Amino acid sequence: MQKPVVNVMVKAARQAGSVILRHISKLDSLSVVEKSRQDYASEVDAAAEKEIIKELRRAYPDFAILAEESGAMGKGRQTFVVDPLDGTSNYLRGFPHFCVSIALVENGEPTDGVIYDPLRNELFTASKGAGALLNDKKLRIGERKDLVGSQLITGFPPRERARLAPHLDAIRALMTEHQAEDIRRTGSAALDLAYVACGRADAYFEAGVKAWDIAAGMLLVREAGGRVCDFRGRGEKLLDGGQMVAGNLKICDALQKAIVQSGYASAFD
């Protein structure tokens, strides 16, 4: 049985998903703003976030909220971390890969998480110590033992273009020296982590991520039996670090070491 707080988060995510789908047939007429260079938000992001916040505050008025569009609201030991539409650029182009992500964070660590893909009606949920689920089916991370033949996911966020050269060097090394099968770039960090948790990809790495991008997904990976860390292998305070490596215990370790060996990790020192 899911915790009451997860039930509320699921309800909020589904309501946001309804807002997202309701507008998908009129993408050409949406109001879009460029928050920063190549970082966009639409009126749908704002409307979906409004629905989430309303539902969360109705049930837990004393909890703080950190939302991508609205920022930080309130103070408290427990904080809802919200991305109302992760993959906005995909959504605005009609590319069918985006989601809603909500996490409950306590003392800097996610304790509960929900990722909802409204197009596929896929609901990923997790609670600390209770495992991870996809539509009520228990998740288990993939079992690949090394990088050879692996399918990896990464991202190229606009805020990290200054480090693009070492990032591409890392990709070259992964595909040549370490013989990864392929590297995907899907445009939604939250779904990337959910896909690693359920075995659709072997591992994920990215820099420039924010707390709302990764909070729910990192908990999913952990509760599916995997590991998350930064580029130097540290597993603490990841929500503020801006870097993420995720996979099962063996491949996460191998990927993190490969990132160091390529020189990419040193670009952040």
Q: Which domain holds residue 169?
A: 151-268
Is 0.95 surpassed by the pTM of this model?
Answer: no
One domain for residues 166 and 111: no
Minimum mean pLDDT range among 19-33, 121-135, 197-211: 19-33
Split into its structural domains, the chain has a count of 2
Residues 131 and 224 in one domain: no
Same domain membership, residue 129 and residue 167: no
The CATH number assigned to the domain holding 260 equals 3.40.190.80
State whether 205 and 108 are in the same domain. Answer: no
Residue at 190 is within a domain: yes
Select the more confidently predicted residue: 76 or 119: 119
User: In terms of domains, do 234 and 132 share one?
Assistant: no
Is 146 part of a structural domain of the chain? no
**Do both 133 and 161 map to the same domain?**
no
The verdict on 121 and 164 lying in the same domain is: no
* Among 230, 227, 228, 256, residue whose Cα is nearest residue 241: 230
CA distances in angstroms from 95 to 24, 31, 87, 147, 187, listed in the order given = 11, 18, 9, 29, 10
Final residue of a structural domain among 105, 138, 171 = 138
Q: Does 92 share its domain with 22? A: yes
Per-residue pLDDT of 217-236, as tens digits, reads 999 999 999 999 999 999 99
Q: Are residues 95 and 10 in the same domain?
A: yes
Are 87 and 116 members of one domain?
A: yes
Q: Are residues 120 and 158 in the same domain?
A: no
Q: What does the pLDDT look like over 51-110, one tens digit per residue?
A: 999 999 999 999 999 998 888 898 888 999 999 999 988 998 889 999 999 999 999 999
Residue 32 in this model has a pLDDT that exceeds 60: no
DSSP-assigned letters across all residues of 188-200? -HHHHHHHHHTTS
Q: Which residue has the tokens 């990864």?
A: 180
Does any domain span residue 145?
A: no
Same domain (yes/no): 120, 198: no
Quick check: 3 and 112 in contact, CB under 8 A?
A: yes
Domain assignment of residue 143, yes or no: no
Out of 138, 171, 187, a domain closes at 138
